[in-house]
Protein backbone atom coordinates (compact mmCIF):
# COMPACT_ATOMS: atom_id res chain seq x y z
CA UNK A 1 0.00 0.00 0.00
CA UNK A 2 1.37 3.41 -0.96
CA UNK A 3 1.65 5.99 1.83
CA UNK A 4 -0.74 8.92 1.61
CA UNK A 5 0.66 12.41 2.10
CA UNK A 6 -1.43 14.60 4.40
CA UNK A 7 -2.97 17.76 2.99
CA UNK A 8 -2.31 21.17 4.51
CA UNK A 9 -5.83 21.15 5.99
CA UNK A 10 -5.29 17.72 7.54
CA UNK A 11 -1.99 18.84 9.05
CA UNK A 12 -3.55 22.07 10.34
CA UNK A 13 -6.63 20.49 11.91
CA UNK A 14 -5.31 17.03 12.70
CA UNK A 15 -8.09 15.58 10.53
CA UNK A 16 -7.64 12.40 8.59
CA UNK A 17 -8.22 8.69 8.80
CA UNK A 18 -6.34 7.09 11.69
CA UNK A 19 -5.85 3.91 9.63
CA UNK A 20 -4.00 5.78 6.85
CA UNK A 21 -0.25 5.48 6.76
CA UNK A 22 1.72 8.66 6.29
CA UNK A 23 5.21 9.14 4.94
CA UNK A 24 5.89 11.89 7.47
CA UNK A 25 6.70 11.53 11.12
CA UNK A 26 4.30 13.39 13.41
CA UNK A 27 5.83 16.69 14.44
CA UNK A 28 6.59 16.83 18.14
CA UNK A 29 6.42 20.20 19.81
CA UNK A 30 7.67 20.70 23.31
CA UNK A 31 5.73 23.37 25.14
CA UNK A 32 7.51 25.35 27.81
CA UNK A 33 5.51 26.76 30.65
CA UNK A 34 6.32 29.92 32.55
CA UNK A 35 6.19 30.04 36.32
CA UNK A 36 2.43 30.73 36.21
CA UNK A 37 1.87 27.59 34.16
CA UNK A 38 1.13 29.38 30.87
CA UNK A 39 2.55 28.01 27.64
CA UNK A 40 5.00 30.24 25.78
CA UNK A 41 3.45 31.22 22.45
CA UNK A 42 6.84 31.50 20.69
CA UNK A 43 7.51 27.78 21.11
CA UNK A 44 5.21 26.74 18.26
CA UNK A 45 7.71 27.87 15.59
CA UNK A 46 11.11 26.17 15.44
CA UNK A 47 13.97 28.68 15.26
CA UNK A 48 15.17 27.57 11.82
CA UNK A 49 11.84 28.38 10.12
CA UNK A 50 10.67 31.81 9.00
CA UNK A 51 7.41 33.30 10.18
CA UNK A 52 4.95 34.51 7.55
CA UNK A 53 4.01 38.19 7.57
CA UNK A 54 0.36 39.20 7.67
CA UNK A 55 -0.43 41.62 4.84
CA UNK A 56 -3.23 43.74 3.42
CA UNK A 57 -3.28 43.96 -0.39
CA UNK A 58 -5.69 46.31 -2.13
CA UNK A 59 -5.94 48.36 -5.28
CA UNK A 60 -6.80 51.81 -6.53
CA UNK A 61 -7.45 52.50 -10.21
CA UNK A 62 -3.71 53.09 -10.84
CA UNK A 63 -1.90 51.13 -8.08
CA UNK A 64 -1.71 47.95 -6.06
CA UNK A 65 -0.87 48.68 -2.43
CA UNK A 66 0.60 46.25 0.09
CA UNK A 67 0.73 47.04 3.80
CA UNK A 68 2.29 45.05 6.64
CA UNK A 69 3.47 45.68 10.19
CA UNK A 70 7.25 45.59 10.61
CA UNK A 71 7.52 47.29 14.00
CA UNK A 72 10.94 46.82 15.56
CA UNK A 73 12.68 46.12 12.23
CA UNK A 74 15.28 48.55 10.92
CA UNK A 75 14.78 49.56 7.26
CA UNK A 76 18.22 48.17 6.42
CA UNK A 77 17.07 44.77 7.76
CA UNK A 78 14.21 44.62 5.22
CA UNK A 79 14.64 43.16 1.75
CA UNK A 80 12.00 43.78 -0.92
CA UNK A 81 12.09 41.86 -4.18
CA UNK A 82 9.60 43.09 -6.77
CA UNK A 83 8.78 41.36 -10.06
CA UNK A 84 6.02 42.06 -12.56
CA UNK A 85 3.56 39.76 -10.79
CA UNK A 86 5.07 38.99 -7.34
CA UNK A 87 6.47 40.80 -4.33
CA UNK A 88 8.63 39.17 -1.66
CA UNK A 89 9.25 40.83 1.70
CA UNK A 90 11.99 39.40 3.94
CA UNK A 91 13.40 40.62 7.19
CA UNK A 92 14.55 39.82 10.66
CA UNK A 93 13.37 41.19 13.98
CA UNK A 94 16.29 41.08 16.43
CA UNK A 95 15.72 40.82 20.15
CA UNK A 96 18.14 43.29 21.74
CA UNK A 97 17.65 42.39 25.37
CA UNK A 98 18.75 39.28 27.17
CA UNK A 99 16.35 38.21 29.89
CA UNK A 100 16.38 34.93 31.75
CA UNK A 101 13.41 32.73 30.71
CA UNK A 102 12.36 32.39 34.38
CA UNK A 103 11.75 36.15 34.59
CA UNK A 104 9.04 36.21 31.89
CA UNK A 105 5.37 36.25 32.85
CA UNK A 106 4.33 36.15 29.17
CA UNK A 107 6.38 35.86 25.98
CA UNK A 108 4.23 36.39 22.90
CA UNK A 109 6.27 38.65 20.59
CA UNK A 110 7.89 37.06 17.55
CA UNK A 111 11.65 37.50 17.16
CA UNK A 112 13.55 36.13 14.20
CA UNK A 113 13.31 35.87 10.43
CA UNK A 114 10.10 36.41 8.51
CA UNK A 115 9.08 36.53 4.87
CA UNK A 116 6.07 36.69 2.62
CA UNK A 117 5.66 36.29 -1.14
CA UNK A 118 2.53 37.85 -2.58
CA UNK A 119 1.16 36.98 -6.02
CA UNK A 120 -0.24 40.14 -7.54
CA UNK A 121 -3.63 40.18 -9.30
CA UNK A 122 -2.23 42.32 -12.13
CA UNK A 123 1.21 43.08 -13.59
CA UNK A 124 3.06 46.11 -12.21
CA UNK A 125 6.06 48.26 -13.13
CA UNK A 126 8.83 47.11 -10.71
CA UNK A 127 11.00 50.14 -11.51
CA UNK A 128 8.28 52.54 -10.35
CA UNK A 129 7.61 50.89 -6.97
CA UNK A 130 7.80 52.95 -3.78
CA UNK A 131 8.21 51.65 -0.23
CA UNK A 132 7.77 53.70 2.93
CA UNK A 133 7.71 52.85 6.62
CA UNK A 134 5.98 54.95 9.25
CA UNK A 135 5.39 53.96 12.87
CA UNK A 136 6.04 50.29 12.01
CA UNK A 137 3.66 50.17 9.03
CA UNK A 138 5.39 49.27 5.74
CA UNK A 139 3.50 50.50 2.67
CA UNK A 140 4.51 49.38 -0.82
CA UNK A 141 2.93 51.20 -3.78
CA UNK A 142 3.09 49.43 -7.14
CA UNK A 143 2.02 51.16 -10.34
CA UNK A 144 -0.19 48.94 -12.51
CA UNK A 145 0.71 48.32 -16.13
CA UNK A 146 -1.98 49.90 -18.31
CA UNK A 147 -2.54 47.38 -21.10
CA UNK A 148 -5.22 49.59 -22.71
CA UNK A 149 -2.95 52.65 -22.99
CA UNK A 150 -2.02 53.53 -26.52
CA UNK A 151 0.67 55.85 -27.76
CA UNK A 152 0.95 57.68 -31.04
CA UNK A 153 4.30 57.30 -32.72
CA UNK A 154 5.63 59.81 -35.19
CA UNK A 155 7.62 58.49 -38.12
CA UNK A 156 10.96 60.19 -38.67
CA UNK A 157 12.52 60.56 -42.07
CA UNK A 158 16.22 59.62 -42.25
Cα separation, 119 vs 132, in Å, equals 20
Q: Could you give the domains of the chain?
A: 45-143 (2.60.40.790)
The pLDDT score that the predictor gives to residue 13 is 61
Q: Are 122 and 64 in contact (CB under 8 A)?
A: yes
Query: Which is more confidently placed, 158 or 17?
Result: 158
- Which is more confident, 6 or 136? 136
> What is the pLDDT averaged over residues 106-121?
88
43-62 tens-digit pLDDT: 544 555 778 889 999 999 99
Model pLDDT, residue 122 = 92
Mean pLDDT, residues 111-117 taken together: 90
C-alpha to C-alpha distance for 30 and 69, rounded to whole angstroms: 29
Q: Which residues contact 45 (CB under 8 A, 6 or more apart)?
A: 51, 110, 112
Q: What band does 78 get if pLDDT is binned at 50, 70 and 90? A: very high
Query: What's this model's pTM, rounded to 2 decimal places?
Result: 0.62
Amino acid sequence: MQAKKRSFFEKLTGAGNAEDEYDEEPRKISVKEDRRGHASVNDWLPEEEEAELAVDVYQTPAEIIIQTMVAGVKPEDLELSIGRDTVTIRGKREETRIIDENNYFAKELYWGSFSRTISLPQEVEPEEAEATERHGLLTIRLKKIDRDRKANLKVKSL
